[in-house]
Amino acid sequence: MLNIPTQSFPAPSSQQRVAPSGQSGRNKVALKPGHSLMDWIRFAKSGKDLTGLRGRLIEVTEEELQKHNTREDCWTCIRGMVYNVSPYMDYHPGGEEELMKAAGIDGTELFDQVHRWVNYESMLKECLVGRMATKPAAALKAALAPPSPTSLAPPTSLAPPPEKDSRPRYDWFQTDVSVHLVVYAKRKIPSSGCTVADLEAGALRLEVQLGKMSYLIHLRLSEEVEGSVAVHTAHSVGKIQVSIRKQAKGKWTSLGQPLDSHNTFLRQKDRAVFYRDCVLQSRTEVNYNTHLFRLRLPRGAVMNVPVGKHVYLKALVQDTEVVRPYTPVDQTLSAAPQVPAQDSDLYLMIKVYPDGALTPHLNSLHVGDRLSVSGPEGTFSVRALRDITHLYLLAAGTGLTPMARIIGLSLQEAPPGRRTGLLFFNRREEDILWRSQLDQLAAECESFQVEHVLSEPSESWSGRRGRVDRSMLTDFLERPDGARCFVCVCGPAAFTQLTMELLKQLGLSEEEVHAFQG
């Protein structure tokens, strides 16, 4: 038996690695009745021995791990920890075939390709077998490794730098009453912003998202400061200025001391995601099962969520950490630029599922309750909308949420002659989110068109009926000669998968289509 203190194992953390939208290669399978995430949570807490070791924790050699490679006896290793995932087979949304790919081996890379946002430490804690044995050579190499530098180092990157150094840099200046940090992004910045700043307990964490890359500044400031942060962005020249008021007048000799990952330039998918606690300000009914949640970031936090990006909400449900993605929307749908009630307000349109893993918990929150929220995530880039003549949005249910801000941006910044069309699929009329606003927008803007499709319409329904099919898309996706089209798709997994297959059949290339994955 290996005696390892509880604190030696990974605990639910305020930072998780999150899978970018659109990167998932997993196909969900139909689970047997009674095998949802909540059913797994209840089963894991039933007191059954899920490891077969009667509560012992052992040190697992590579040879031992390889022996456990069958459906009935399946061990896998994730980040140095070994789990018996056999009991989880019937509960896995991707099916047992996906889990078996990592049977008897280190499955960290496979896990990161699909499930990076999942808090496996919490979900599989009752399946923990033990720690992988450290190879002597690896242990010696780790012991001889030089200590991490503590000085302000130049930005590092996991990707080889191009011939021209395109990595951002920063500088700072001060007055007697304030300190100002300036980031030079060396590229244009989207009008919806790309900056997330968190100031807490004298530490400044500033993340600038630039395409698929993330530039991070993380410092313990030299002196005490006030608790608020102001961010000013010059979008066309790629300059971001962060201003903070000093608590006491005077000159600083330095900006501060570096903290974890300071001055790094990494691919977004390779960096840890930071969570902050937001406060529920209000909850407004959109329809019978969907609400608009208004969250306020803590003082000292500023978050620009680029169009097409989502955030993750994290909560403890029945002692298990549950994380789900949601796409922010503006507080209303309009072609005019939106001005939030407060810069730190975040609006999320969330449909409540009675048997959902997270939404019943969200629905139980009261004004003033706190909720952990990540920074922006996702692979969508507004560059895809540049120079197109036709933008088509195919959405089902709450798949409208990423489309809402895309519609606003397209109508605000569209070149003359661009057409923006939304084909919106729902079951019944009462399920159509923001129907009156969508119809009003279509009536006011000649360049915007919306069509509603119902799969369970009433007899009085005069619009389109049925589910997405090839003929419906052929009719909607007009592609005149010389047209430059782009199509966005979002909805339940089955809808997205079928729609993407149909678009491929219609001859659209990968560069002309983006699928938002929930």
Contacts of 440 (CB under 8 A, 6+ apart): none
**Please, which pLDDT band fits residue 278 given cuts at 50, 70 and 90?**
very high
pLDDT at 201 over 70: yes
CA-nearest of 36, 54, 59 to 123 is 36
Q: What pLDDT is stored for residue 17 in this prediction? A: 33
**Please, which pLDDT band fits residue 309 given cuts at 50, 70 and 90?**
very high
Q: What pLDDT is stored for residue 508 in this prediction? A: 95
Contacts of 462 (CB under 8 A, 6+ apart): none
Q: What is the CATH number of domain 382-516?
A: 3.40.50.80
Strands 81-84 and 15-16: unpaired
User: How many helices (DSSP H) and strands (DSSP E) are in the chain?
Assistant: 11, 28
Structure tokens of 326? 């949601």
Q: Which CATH architecture has domain 169-270?
A: Sandwich (2.60)
Do the domains 6-137 and 382-516 sit in the same CATH topology, yes or no? no
Q: What pLDDT is stored for residue 256 in this prediction? A: 95
For domain 274-374, the question of CATH label 2.40.30.10 is answered with: yes
pLDDT at 287 over 90: yes
Q: What pLDDT is stored for residue 26 in this prediction? A: 45
**Please, which pLDDT band fits residue 348 given cuts at 50, 70 and 90?**
very high
Judged on CB neighbours under 10 Å (0-12, 13-18, 19+), 145 is: exposed
**Model pLDDT for residues 461-513, shown as the tens digit of each residue:** 999 999 999 999 999 999 888 889 999 999 999 999 999 999 999 999 999 99
**Please, which pLDDT band fits residue 140 given cuts at 50, 70 and 90?**
very low
Distance of CA 290 to the CA centre of its chain: 20
**Please, which pLDDT band fits residue 55 given cuts at 50, 70 and 90?**
confident
Cross-strand bridge partners of residue 452: 424
Cross-strand bridge partners of residue 273: 16
CB 216 within 8 A of CB 206: yes
Contacts of 106 (CB under 8 A, 6+ apart): 65, 76, 77, 78, 132
Q: What pLDDT is stored for residue 6 in this prediction? A: 36
**Please, which pLDDT band fits residue 147 given cuts at 50, 70 and 90?**
very low
**Model pLDDT for residues 328-346, shown as the tens digit of each residue:** 998 877 555 554 434 569 9
**For the chain, which residues make up each domain, given as ranges?**
6-137, 169-270, 274-374, 382-516
Q: What pLDDT is stored for residue 476 in this prediction? A: 96
CB 271 within 8 A of CB 262: no
Q: What pLDDT is stored for residue 307 in this prediction? A: 92
Q: What pLDDT is stored for residue 28 in this prediction? A: 60
Class of domain 6-137: alpha beta
pLDDT at 126 over 80: yes
Q: What pLDDT is stored for residue 453 in this prediction? A: 98
Quote the pTM value. Answer: 0.71
